[in-house]
């Protein structure tokens, strides 16, 4: 899916929409929708934020020793 098509989808009235083939959608308690598997997420209706995961990636770990 092109970035333009994705933007159009995300800006449809009613808020962010789940893109095709997007299985890992995660909603937090205040409505932000994270589309991290594809490296981007969109926020609430009327506000669009796109991040490339390479600049916004996060993670966790445990001490092994």
Min dist. Cβ of residue 39 to other proteins (A) = 7
Instruction: Indicate whether 3 belongs to the interface with other proteins (CB under 8 A).
Output: no
Rounded Cα distance, 42 and 50, in Å = 6
Which residues are CB-neighbours of 31 under 8 A, at least 6 positions away?
15, 43, 44
Rounded Cα distance, 27 and 8, in Å = 20
Instruction: Indicate whether 21 belongs to the interface with other proteins (CB under 8 A).
Output: no
Min dist. Cβ of residue 16 to other proteins (A) = 14
Residues 28-47, mask of contacts with other proteins (x by CB under 8 A): xxx-x-x-xx-x----x---
């Amino acid at each position: 899916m092109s970035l333009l098509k994705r933007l159009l989808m995300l800006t449809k009235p009613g808020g962010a929409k789940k893109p095709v083939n997007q299985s890992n959608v995660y909603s937090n308690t205040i409505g932000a929708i994270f589309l991290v598997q594809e490296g981007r997420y969109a926020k609430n209706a009327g506000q669009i934020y796109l991040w490339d995961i390479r600049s916004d990636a996060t993670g966790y770990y445990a001490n092994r020793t």
